[in-house]
Amino acid sequence: MSQPVPVDKSSSRVRRMFGEIAGRYDLLNHLLSLGVDRRWRRLATRLAPADGEGPVLDVCTGTGDLALAYWRSRGEAVSVVGADFCRPMLRVGREKVRRIGAAGCRFAVRLDGTG
User: Considering the entire predicted model, what is its pTM?
Assistant: 0.85
Q: Is the pLDDT of residue 114 over 60?
A: no
Mean of per-residue pLDDT scores for the chain: 90
Tens of pLDDT along 27-41? 999 999 999 999 999
* Interval 41-73: pLDDT, tens: 999 999 999 887 788 999 999 999 999 999 999
Query: Which residues on adjacent β-strands are paired with residue 108?
Result: 83
- Count of other CB atoms within 10 angstroms of residue 32: 9
Structural Rg of the chain based on CA atoms:
16
* Model confidence band, residue 26 (pLDDT cutoffs 50, 70, 90): very high
Cβ-proximal residues to 49 (8 Å cutoff; 6+ apart), any chain = 73
Residue with more model confidence, 12 or 34: 34
The pLDDT confidence band at residue 75, using thresholds 50, 70 and 90, is: confident
Contact assessment for residue 42 and residue 69, using Cβ atoms and an 8 Å cutoff: yes
Q: Could you tell me the strand order of the sheet in which 80-84 lies?
A: 56-59, 80-84, 105-109
Q: Which domains does the chain have, with CATH numbers?
A: 11-109 (3.40.50.150)
C-alpha–C-alpha distance, residues 108 and 90, integer Å: 8
Category of 60 on φ-ψ map: left (φ > 0), alpha (ψ -120 to 50) or beta: left
pLDDT score of 115 more than 90 = no
- Percent of the chain exceeding pLDDT 90 equals 70
pLDDT of amino acid 113? 44
Numbers of helices and strands, H then E, in the chain: 5, 3
